[in-house]
């Protein structure tokens, strides 16, 4: 039986120096026990490996939480996720908001006590910022409603075992109203980012990241706002197996 002191660890990647220096794979983990703040933010410029990383992370999350329920929003309809297209809980392009609504209604049902289940529910959303900015251009009022739902999930999700895993290029404050960006327990910045991105996400660690050079799939992970790690995302060992795991979880 798990109690609140039992960590439930998810491997985010591997220690970068150990991997590059002497080929050792030392896992960098984050605690995903439901009562821990386990929202995950993945940030990085285009082409630096966010979607590749998300596929790996998603499959690891499913293995760690086989009872979990997953919803996948893919604003770009990225090729990296083409294998998910037939899954009922995969939502691309204009349909991403259906994934948000599904998760938001679960939040409300758990809040009201109508839903007494407590298994983890995860909303994965690729290209979150672009999706919100496009929606804002189209319809400001509708975008404001969406942002309120997102910030409610980010702020209240932890106590209701509901988690967000968002991937984006720029973590603008405007797409995280009321400071909801602070609710990400794990923040991963892949590749060398411009200073303003580090300032937004890792303001207390500017000295440590200054001048760092990262390749594809390499970067930093900040855990619970206090532990900074340099990480390597790892590579997909068996893509067929990884895809089977992800497809099953969204079906």
Chain contacts with ligand ATP (rule: CB under 6 A): 44, 46-52, 78, 80, 169, 216-217, 233, 235
217 binds, among Mg ion, ligand ATP, none (CB under 5 to 8 A by kind): ligand ATP
Q: Are 234 and 20 in contact (CB under 8 A)?
A: no
The structure tokens 């930093």 sit at: 220
Q: How far is CA 79 from the centre of its chain?
A: 18
**Between residue 26 and residue 65, which ones bind Mg ion under the rule CB under 5 A?**
50-51
x-or-dash string of contact with Mg ion, 63-82, rule CB under 5 A: ---------------x----
Which residues pair with residue 11 across a beta bridge? 29
Give the integer Cα–Cα distance in Å for 191 and 47. Answer: 9
* Other beta carbons less than 10 A from residue 183's beta carbon: 18
Give the integer Cα–Cα distance in Å for 91 and 74. Answer: 6
**What is the nearest approach in angstroms of Mg ion to the Cβ of residue 54?**
8
Nearer to Mg ion, 37 or 129 (CB): 129
**What is the nearest approach in angstroms of ligand ATP to the Cβ of residue 123?**
18
122 binds, among Mg ion, ligand ATP, none (CB under 5 to 8 A by kind): none
Footprint of Mg ion (CB under 5 A): 50-51, 78
């Amino acid at each position: 039986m798990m109690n609140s002191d039992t960590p439930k660890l998810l491997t985010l990647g591997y220690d970068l120096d150990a991997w590059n220096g002497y080929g050792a794979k030392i896992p960098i983990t984050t605690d995903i026990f439901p009562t821990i703040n386990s929202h995950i933010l993945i940030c990085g410029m285009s082409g630096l490996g966010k979607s590749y990383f998300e596929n790996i992370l998603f499959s690891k999350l499913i293995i760690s939480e086989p009872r979990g329920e997953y919803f996948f929003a893919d604003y770009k309809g990225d090729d990296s996720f083409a294998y998910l297209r037939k899954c009922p809980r995969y939502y691309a392009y204009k349909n991403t908001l259906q994934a948000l609504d599904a998760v938001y209604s679960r939040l409300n049902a758990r809040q009201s006590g109508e839903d007494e289940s407590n298994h983890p529910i995860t909303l994965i959303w690729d290209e979150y910022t672009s999706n919100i900015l496009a929606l804002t251009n189209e319809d400001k009022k509708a975008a404001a409603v969406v942002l309120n739902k997102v910030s409610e999930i980010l702020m209240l999700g932890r106590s209701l075992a509901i988690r967000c895993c968002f991937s984006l290029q720029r973590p603008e404050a405007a797409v995280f109203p009321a400071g909801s960006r602070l609710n990400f327990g794990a923040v991963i910045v892949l590749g060398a980012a411009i200073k303003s991105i580090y300032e937004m996400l890792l303001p207390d660690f500017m000295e440590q990241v200054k001048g760092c050079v990262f390749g594809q799939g390499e970067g930093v992970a900040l855990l619970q706002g206090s532990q900074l790690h340099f990480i390597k995302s790892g590579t997909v060992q068996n893509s067929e197996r990884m895809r089977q795991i992800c497809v099953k979880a969204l079906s």
